[in-house]
Amino acid sequence: MKKILMALTLFSLTASAAVKVKRIDPTNWFVGMKDPLLQLMVYGEGIRNANVSTTYPGVEITSVERMDSPNYLLVYLNIGKAKAGKVPLVFAQGKQKTTVTYELKARDKKGEERMGFTNADVLYMFMPDRFAASGTKKHPMPGLNAYRVDRSQPSLRHGGDLEGIRQHLDYFNQLGVTALWFTPVLENNTPDDKTQSTYHGYATTDYYRVDPRFGTNDDYRRLIDEAHSKGLKVVMDMIFNHCGITHPWIKDMPSRNWFNRPDYKNNYLQTSYKLTPALDPYASEVDMDETVDGWFVPSMPDLNQRNPHVLRYLIQNSIWWIETVGIDGIRMDTYPYADREAMAQWMDRLNKEYPNFNTVGETWVTEPAYTAAWQKDSKLSTINCNLKSVMDFAFFDRINQAKNEETDGWWNGLNRVYNVLCYDYLYPNPSSVMAFIENHDTDHFLGNGTDTLALKQALALLLTMNRIPQLYYGTEILMNGTKEKTDGHVRKDFPGGFPGDKQNAFTAEGRTQEQNAMFSWLSRLLHWRKGNEVISKGKQTHFIPFNGVYVLARTLGKRHVLTIMNGTSKSAIMPVARYAEVIGDADEVRDVLTGRTVSLLEDVQLSPRETLVVEFNAE
C-alpha cells in the first residue's frame, strides 16, 4: 500500500519562501473523476494576493478566488484531461515566486466498482475511544491541546484507538456482523473542559487528518484493508453541519460567510434542535433560522453550506476519503441541520461518481412521513434530497415504547411497531432504510436492566424485517446504561478492550454465563441471516397483532421465514389457520435459533414474551 502523506508533507517548496504556502486542501487529488473541477484551498501568510500558474499538461486554472482573509486563496483547476503526476503550481507576488508540487494520483478503482452497504448487511456501531486500545499510545501526545485520558471519567477520553479495533476484527466475524460504523476518527483538537472532552469525534478540527490519539491516516487505511480481507465493510461517520471551535477556520475565517452567525461572540444563535421546520410548508423564518443556522452547541461552529466554496470543500473531502482509504459508506451526522439544497447537491455528486455506494443520513424525527421525505426520489419533498438511506427513528421510538407495554387489541405494545411499518408506502425504497433499537445517542435498549426477553424480540424483528439493521456495541454481552447523568454512561468501555481489564468479553472464556447465552443467541441469528436472500430480497407480509401475538413473514419463492412474537407477559396461542396465506401447506417449521422442529398441525403455544424465528419451504 502506498503511504498516505499528511498535509504538511504532501508538497515541497522548491524556490524562495517569500510567498508562503503552508498548506493545501485537499492534500492530493485523483484523475479520472466525472467532475473535472478541483478546488484547492491554499493557506499561507499573505497568500491572497498571489498569482497562480502551471504548465502541467491537461491542467487548466479556471479561476482564482481571493478570500476575505489575507491568508487564504481558492484555486480552481480543470483536470479533466490530466494524467497522474506531480503538478508544479507557481505562486507569484511581484518578483517573488514559490513553486509547490501538487500530486494527482491514479484511482485504485472506478467509481462504479465501489459497492456500498445494503440490507444484506448488518452494521455494528461503536466508538473508537471506548472499544479497544492497543496499549501503544503514550498520553498526553505532544502537539495537541490539553487533554486527559481518564477511564474513571465518563466524558473524558479513555484511550481507544484504531489499532485496538484492528486487533479485534475477528470478533466481528465471530459475532456475524458484516459492516462496521464507528464514530468520527478525524482530528478533534478541542482542549478538555474539566471533565468534558470531544472523545466522541463530532467536533472536527482537521478534515484531512485522523486524530493522532486514534492513529494515522495510514493506520486507518490499514484497518480498512484488513477489514475488507475479512469480509467486513467500513462506514465512515462524517459531519458537514459543524466543526470544532478550535478549527483554524475560526481563528482565521476564510470569508465573512464561511460560518452561520460568524459574529458568534456577540450574536450567538443556539439551534432549537427541532427539525420539523426543515420540511414544514408553513415554517416561519425564525424557526427555520434556529434549526438550520443555529449552532449545535457553542463549541461546534455552524458551517454555511450555502457558500459554494464551503460546499465544494466538504464534497471534495468526502470523495478524498473514499478514494484514499476505501470506505464502503458514509453516515452523515445531523443531516437536517445543514442546508437541504446544498446537501442534495452533495448527494447528487456522490451518486453520480459512485452509483453503487451508499450514504445514510441521521434524521432524528420519529414520524415516518418526515424521514421518508429525505430519501432519494421521495414524492413528499419539494427537493429531491438524493439520500439513499435514512435512519428509522420511528421504529426506534415504537419498539422502545412497546417493550414496556402489553400488546393489546389496538395501540399498545407491538401494535406500535405494526402501526409504523404499515406506512412503508411513504418510502421510495423501504429496504434502504436503516433501523436500530439503540445507538450512541440513546439509552441502551436494556436501560439499567437485563430484560433479555424484550431484547430478543427487538433484535429478532430488527434482523428479519425489510430494513438495513444496525446494532450497538455491547448489546451482545448485555451492556446497559442510560443517559440520566451523561452520554458517557451509554458509551462505556468494552470489557477486555483495554490493558489491565479484569474481564475480557471478547472471548467465551471471559464472558459470564448470561453474556455467553446472549452472544450465542445473537450470533446464531446473525450467521443465519448472512447471505440469506429471503431476508434481503423477500416479500414482506405482516399481520395485525392478534391476541397479543405479532407475526411478520418474509417470502422468496418457496422459501418462507416467520418471526413470531408474543407481546404479552402471559402465555399466548398463535392460531395456525389465521396465517394460512404465508404458511401454505407446511406442517412443520424449523426454529432458526434452537434447531428444533415446531409442528403446525396444531396451534402454536407461546410462553410469555417468547420469540420464534422459523423457516420452511412451502407452495
- Active-site amino acid positions: 333, 362
Name which of 309, 295, 187 is nearest 242 in CA terms: 295
| Residues paired with 242 in a beta bridge | 302
Name which of 132, 135, 139 is nearest 171 in CA terms: 132
Residue 609 C-alpha cell reads as 414474551
- What is the DSSP code string of 244-302? -TTSHHHHS-SSTTSBSSS-HHHH--B-----GGGT-TT--HHHHHHHHHSBSBTTB-B
| Residues paired with 162 in a beta bridge | none
Element (H, E) at 346: helix 340-353
| Residues paired with 93 in a beta bridge | 96
Query: C-alpha 397: how far from its chain's center?
Result: 19
Name which of 120, 123, 118 is nearest 470 in CA terms: 123
d(CA 239, CA 318): 10
d(CA 276, CA 282): 10
Strand positions, DSSP E, 163-212: 179-182, 186-187, 206-210
d(CA 259, CA 295): 10
Q: Is 242 exposed, middle or buried (0-12, 13-18, 19+ CB in 10 A)?
A: buried
| Residues paired with 519 in a beta bridge | none
Which residues, 6+ apart, have CB-to-CB distance to 382 below 8 Å? none
CA angle, 568 then 573 then 576, to 5°: 135
Q: Is 547 exposed, middle or buried (0-12, 13-18, 19+ CB in 10 A)?
A: middle
Cβ neighbours around 587 below 10 Å, total: 12
**Cβ(270)–Cβ(293) below 8 Å:** no
